[in-house]
Amino acid sequence: MSFLAVITALVAVALGLPFYRVVKGPTVFDRLVGVGVAGTKTVLLICLVGFMYGRVDMFIDIAIAYAMLNFLGAIVVAKYLKQTGGEPQ
């Protein structure tokens, strides 16, 4: 097993940790941070898979698009929470 395969597997396992915060987070803000961390780890995972397959150029483009969607999603949720006053009842 190659070094990149081991690192990719470890990142994939570590991707489950932020999902615990998303599910069990006491506040909406904890859940939002968990989703952001999971998105960042997903971008890293996409880049590692690109290195494994030798198609870094294609996978980097996919990772950049995913990172932009993750960022825009966080902005939309933050604006919604600002308008509604934070924690929903």
The pLDDT tens digits of the residues spanning 41-78 come to: 999 999 999 999 999 999 999 999 999 999 999 889 88
- Angstrom CA distances, 89 to 9, 63, 65, 85, 86, stand at 39, 35, 34, 10, 9
Which pTM does this prediction carry?
Answer: 0.82
Q: What's the pLDDT at 22?
A: 87
CA-based nearest residue to 44, from 86, 87, 14, 83? 14
